[in-house]
Structure 1
Amino acid sequence: MKKRICILYTGGTIGMVPTDRGYAPKPGALAQYLKAIPDLASPEAPTWELVEMEPLLDSSNITVREWRAIGQAIFDHYDRFDGFVVLHGTDTMAYTASALSFMLENLQKPVIFTGSQIPLCRMRSDGRDNLITSLLIAAQGRAAEVCLYFGGKLLRGNRATKRSADGLRAFSSPNYPPLAMAGVEIRYDQAALARPAQKGPLTLAPFEAAPIGVLKVFPGIQFGLFEPILTEALRGIVLETFGAGNIPDGGGALLPLIQKAGKNGTVLVVCSQCGEGSVHLGAYATSAPLKASGAVSGRDMTTEAAVAKLYYLFSRGHSAAEVKRLMEQDLRGELTGE
């Protein structure tokens, strides 16, 4: 029996049409594009059904509300399909894939995010291969988790990051190997597919719009400028540091800010600006203030995964202490344990 796959279209370049203001998503346009792809009607293709989200959005406009809507759509259709292909704009695809990896608890079916850099309405669109291969991967069922397929590589969703604004291999997974490579055949890496076990029926853990910030450290940063945002309302902050977790002392201005954040109950997660490698707080003297303040290491998590994980943990109602503890634990294959 053929597998049944739901194609969930959220917007993004793959289904956009040209307008006088540039490319934009248009309801109904993607359905027409899909009818023009003969391979989708091939006997080798799984049975598929298109579900369009409303409204369709450029992915730069995706928010926590849309994450909830995508998660809800998958939850509502879960029993009817063997897998899902989520068509999404590339700009924030890694954020949404990371979010869904936490939101869909006990997921036992493939959820494959993909899209394109060139719309399907253009002759050289990369969307055809990305879509067709994603459908086959979803139907094969071997990667029963949230993944991102693009340019011949199947990546764990919460390990992916966008690396190119115009290249057709737009995504990378700097700290984790691809789950599969698509050449003449789709070859899976069985060891890479391993992740923390999840058991039981699918549960949806919707996110709340918790106050979270991201701050990138740079040479000459004046930390005092950021003091006004460090209020009790700020629940968590991802700090992108140099190297393995190193920061400038800011003329002595940083430590009081970190201490203030700690007193306010703000969870400070340290990630690295480097694409590859891991945070090791305390390895260098320049990271000692962060370790002493109670900041937690994001280890080798991407910023996208760290942000999504904070939303998830705060939405589950955990205390700041519990959020800190769980941020350093591998929940969905998002980080490498020590």
Structure 2
Amino acid sequence: MFVIAKRMALAQCDRSFRPHTANTDMMSDLAEMRKVLVLYTGGTIGMQKNHNGVYAPVPEVFASKVKTCQELHDYELARIYSIRDHELITKALHCNKVITYQIQEYQPLLASSNMTAKEWITIAETIEKNYHDFDGFVILQGTDTMAYTSSVLSFMFKNLNKPIILTGSQIPIFETPSDAKNNFLYSLVFASCSDIPEVCVFFANRLLRGNRVKKVHNSQIIAFETPNYHILAETGLHVKMYRNFMLPKMERGMLSVFTNLCTRVGILHIFPTLSRTQLLSFLEPTLEGVVLITYGVGNIPSDRQDLIDVLRNAVGRGVTVVNVTQCLRGSVAVLYETGHRMEEIGIIPCYDITVEAAYTKLMVICGMEKKSEERAELMKQVMRGEMTIQPY
């Protein structure tokens, strides 16, 4: 557990958001200061090679490195604005603002493959504790489980009215070249100068909805996509904001954070030789929810009555089973007899949701509700823009 130590139809664009650097003497002393809290959990962005020649997290060096990057910390602005030693500052001339931020480094720093529900809860609680003191939040973590973190946080926060931006890098900030500085800088800009009321991932010049992302490459710079949803923004000479794809800002309601995550949830990939014994073993009595990853538009073998009976019995004893396609793009739909059999026995179609979003949504809902009927109804609803309900 962490301890805090220190492509759809073309959208209309808002092109007025234009971050770029400028000389300090061009900055007005009266420029508004925006505050961002950065939670550094680990990941490639701050790793260095160890004595074995492999990358590993190194504590208490990341913030010092960031201070040496002119794009990320401006010493002249630090003098003008009299910021404290533990703060950093950079410019956002496009909106005549400066960004001051603090980096809270977690202990231990983790490779993201070691992230669990405990770390997600710690992150959410840290943001809740500091919610009224900052304009936005940036979470630095490894890319392997970033889609899980961004998805679960989107469901844990209700009535969110400030940006929470997750980012990392494929190449550490200590190396040249690296994608780390660009990803970090623009994450700070979106967290401080935008009014996007949702959890997002910024990576490789694109802002993506957090519960729609998937990691699609393990080494290329463009590591994330939202296969079934439009991007929210993209950066370049100008920043284009696709506002009609963003969640509306909440006008009423105080922020609430749900941290009672149910870990008795699993993911099962359907495969041709799946046996009744294997399925029974997976659907053990303590399991409360299952993401079933099925063929095509949501199919399983219709002639395997043994598998259908096991699934029917699981639903009957209260296990919430949801149906998600194995395909990168497309939606679950009842177009074939095999899919119809699934819906008949009470398995819930989740349309174009990602596996990561379905799994984390199920964790939240199973922690929130005890009755299987109520869980099923909530899984059918769009909570944070995570899926598009499509008529069959």
State the secondary structure of the residue aligned to 2:33: coil
Query: What is the deviation of 1:89?
Result: 0.5
State the secondary structure of the residue aligned to 1:214: strand
Write out per-residue CA displacement over residues 179-227 of structure 1, whole angstroms, 9 at most, x where no aligned residue. Answer: 0011112111011013595731111110334311101112333243121
- Structure 2 CA distance, aligned partners of 1:113 and 1:210? 23
Candidates 17, 27, 31, aligned match of 2:59: 27
- Structure 1 CA distance, aligned partners of 2:383 and 2:165? 19
Matched, 1:302 2:359: no
Candidates 88, 93, 97, aligned match of 2:150: 97
- Structure 1 CA distance, aligned partners of 2:63 and 2:262? 32
Name 2:368's counterpart in structure 1: 316
Q: Counterpart of 1:141 in structure 2: which amino acid?
A: S
Q: Counterpart of 2:172 in structure 1: which amino acid?
A: P
Q: Is the 8 A contact 1:105 1:198 kept in 2?
A: no
- Structure 1 CA distance, aligned partners of 2:256 and 2:367? 14
Q: Is the 8 A contact 2:198 2:247 kept in 1?
A: no
CA-atom RMSD, angstroms?
Answer: 1.5
Q: Is the 8 A contact 2:262 2:364 kept in 1?
A: no
Name 1:122's counterpart in structure 2: 175
Structural mapping, 1:1-338, within 5 Å: 1-21=32-52, 22-40=54-72, 41=74, 42-44=90-92, 45-194=98-247, 197=250, 199-249=252-302, 251-280=304-333, 282-338=334-390
| Alpha-carbon distance change, 109 to 196 in structure 1, aligned in 2, over 3 angstroms | closer
- Structure 1 CA distance, aligned partners of 2:388 and 2:370? 22
State the secondary structure of the residue aligned to 1:262: helix
Write out per-residue CA displacement over residues 119-159 of structure 1, whole angstroms, 9 at most, x where no aligned residue. Answer: 11111111110000111111112322100000111000000
Of 134-143 and 198-207, the range deviating more from structure 2: 198-207
- Structure 1 CA distance, aligned partners of 2:271 and 2:67? 49
State the secondary structure of the residue aligned to 2:292: strand
- Structure 1 CA distance, aligned partners of 2:252 and 2:56? 40
- Structure 1 CA distance, aligned partners of 2:201 and 2:245? 14
Answer with 1 or 2: which has the greater Rg. 2
Q: Counterpart of 2:56 in structure 1: which amino acid?
A: A
Q: Is the 8 A contact 2:48 2:55 kept in 1?
A: yes
Q: Counterpart of 1:234 in structure 2: which amino acid?
A: L
- Structure 2 CA distance, aligned partners of 1:104 and 1:8? 17
Q: Is the 8 A contact 1:222 1:250 kept in 2?
A: no
Q: Is the 8 A contact 1:196 1:330 kept in 2?
A: no
| Alpha-carbon distance change, 298 to 197 in structure 1, aligned in 2, over 3 angstroms | farther
Structure 2 portions without partners, runs of 5+? 1-31, 75-89, 93-97
| Alpha-carbon distance change, 43 to 194 in structure 1, aligned in 2, over 3 angstroms | closer
| Alpha-carbon distance change, 292 to 43 in structure 1, aligned in 2, over 3 angstroms | closer
Query: What is the deviation of 1:59?
Result: 0.4
Write out per-residue CA displacement over residues 292-322 of structure 1, whole angstroms, 9 at most, x where no aligned residue. Answer: 1100011110000001101111111342111
Q: Is the 8 A contact 1:181 1:187 kept in 2?
A: yes
Indicate the percent of aligned positions where both proteins have the same amino acid.
38
Q: Counterpart of 2:353 in structure 1: which amino acid?
A: M
